[in-house]
Amino acid sequence: MITAGHRLQLNELPFGPPPSVREALSRALASANRYPEFLPARLSRLIAERLGCEPDRIVVGAGATGVIMHIVQEFGSGAAEVVMATPTFDGFPILTGMAGGRPVTVSLTGDGRQDLAAMAAAVTERTRLVVVCSPHNPTGTLVPPADFEDFLRAIPASITVVLDEAYVDFVAEAERVDVFALLDRHPNLLVLRTFSKGYGLAALRVGYAVGDPELIERIARWQLPFGMTALAEVAVRACYEAEAEIEARIAVLGEHRDRLTTGLRELGLCVPDSYANFSYLTLPGPDAERVATALAGADIHVKTYPTGIRITVGDRAATDAVLATVRSTVQ
């Protein structure tokens, strides 16, 4: 367990929940001797009310990872093929394999984007699930809404498509997809979100998917009884009530991200525009390992990939430390 230095490898927020959320959680601990709901109907209703949809369009799980597990259990098991980019969020290939499915991976484009045309071409009669992340993890790139709908039109309606929006809270409203308009036109679509990132509730494991009631019902049957803690519901409600404060913190993180990205580019390095709470330093494998080793030596913990390094946006001190260490390594 990392207890010192800068934890910049898991895309966590650098600060804890707002005071009002902490207070709500503290009060809820008095009932820690009581079980949560058998199945999390209240939490689904709470999220649905916030989104302006019916509760039967929402399924919740233990973080986005928990929801992904249920999705691949339903649609990606039994040697089914699941098409995804590579690299992508580690949960997709790992959980697909755990469910007995086969990940079919498609390389990113040279500028760190998911190759939607190649992903559509990778679909076969054995494909049951296709995954697109926007913003993409680990590069932070965004799929333009029009491009994504073109992609949906190219995928047979019998195949479920997951749009992973784990980092959507860091995207300006004008650049987001219109989720419910898309769902109305493409009932094979599932939109995945989490409270671990923008809301900073990673330890409480709260994620959800939005979709057609038929798909949601199929996913929900995999839910573990008593699998969501009562604290999750309390924290989500409190976060909704503290949304102005949370949005202000997200704006600050956006400024730190832009400073980190600009600083890396000023060193002559290639960094795609990021719409998430991290920057991706594009480097070939050996160079990435060398820079990651230098960062680790400075007690800065990041995540490496064959094509580069993902660096979570931390506070100002973390950004200063990253830039100083990378500068000493590449110059």
| Assigned superfamily of 6-15+244-330 | Aspartate Aminotransferase, domain 1 (3.90.1150.10)
Kindly report, residue by residue over 20-78, the tens digit of the pLDDT: 999 999 999 999 999 999 999 999 999 999 999 999 999 999 999 999 999 999 999 88
pTM tops 0.85, yes or no: yes
Q: In what order do the strands lie in the sheet with 81-86?
A: 58-61, 207-211, 189-194, 160-164, 127-133, 81-86, 102-107
pLDDT band at 5 (very low <50, low <70, confident <90, very high): confident
Question: Which pLDDT value is given to residue 221?
Answer: 95
- Domain 19-241 falls in which CATH fold? Aspartate Aminotransferase; domain 2 (3.40.640)
Residue 66 CB partners (closer than 8 Å, separation 6+) = 205, 207, 227
What are the sequence ranges of the domains in the chain?
6-15+244-330, 19-241
The answer for residues whose C-beta is within 8 angstroms of residue 38's C-beta and 6 or more apart is 225, 226
**CA gap 93, 71 in Å, rounded:** 13
Mean pLDDT of 112-124: 97
- Cα separation of 253 and 198, whole Å? 10
Asked if the domains 6-15+244-330 and 19-241 are classified in one and the same CATH topology, the answer is no
